[in-house]
Amino acid sequence: MRLHLCAVGRLRSGPERDLVDDYLQRLDRTGRPLGLGPATEHEVEDKKGGGKAAEGALLSRAIPDGAALCVLDERGKTLSSPELADMLARWRDGGRQDAAFVIGGADGVDPGLRDRADLAVSFGRMVWPHMLVRVMLAEQLYRAATILAGSPYHRV
């Protein structure tokens, strides 16, 4: 199952970019034998200032048809890492070819996009900068692959 990180904003060079690249590379090595990956990033920018609706439209175009859709949203469900791994395995084993993870801009995810998501996930009740959320998501996807592979990376 191909994984798509669809995000508002461009992640420029720096520590966040380095971390995302590292975790996605690790995910590729660990996940491919498990049928997870490759993981690709789709970055969109609303240069006309249309707000969440315009960002939602741009993000929608980045999501492959038929993909399982997970939005990162502060009002979403808080999952443990093993629960995220189980969800990915269910989508993969259920025949999904793609899974898209959507990170909105500074004002969050467009409600229309959130409403059509298979799942809304929160990284806790705190609000996180969307660029840092991308790092956290990449790490959690890598961690999910290690859990499914039985690797000692994830410790209970």
pLDDT in tens, 50-95: 889 999 999 999 999 999 999 999 899 999 999 999 999 999 999 9
CA–CA distance, 62 with 58 (Å, rounded to integer): 7
Which pLDDT does position 148 carry in this prediction? 97
Task: Report yes or no: 37 and 28 within 8 Å, Cβ to Cβ.
Answer: yes
Which pLDDT does position 156 carry in this prediction? 63
CA–CA distance, 109 with 107 (Å, rounded to integer): 7
What does the block give as tokens for 104? 């909105």
Which pLDDT does position 50 carry in this prediction? 87
Which pLDDT does position 106 carry in this prediction? 86
Position 155 pLDDT exceeds 80: no
For the chain, list the domains and their CATH numbers. Answer: 2-149 (3.40.1280.10)
Per-residue pLDDT band for 47 (boundaries 50, 70, 90) equals: confident
Phi, psi of 125 (to 5 degrees): -80, -15
Which pLDDT does position 49 carry in this prediction? 82
Average pLDDT value for residue range 134-141: 98
Nearby residues of 2 by Cβ (< 8 Å), 6 or more positions away:
37, 38, 39, 40, 64, 97, 98, 99
pLDDT in tens, 92-117: 999 999 999 999 998 889 999 999 99
Phi, psi of 17 (to 5 degrees): -60, -45
Task: Report yes or no: 76 and 121 within 8 Å, Cβ to Cβ.
Answer: yes
Nearby residues of 9 by Cβ (< 8 Å), 6 or more positions away:
43, 45, 105, 130, 131
pTM score: 0.94
What does the block give as tokens for 117? 């998501």
Task: Report yes or no: 113 and 71 within 8 Å, Cβ to Cβ.
Answer: yes
Position 39 pLDDT exceeds 70: yes
Residue with tokens 């070819």: 97
Nearby residues of 51 by Cβ (< 8 Å), 6 or more positions away:
107
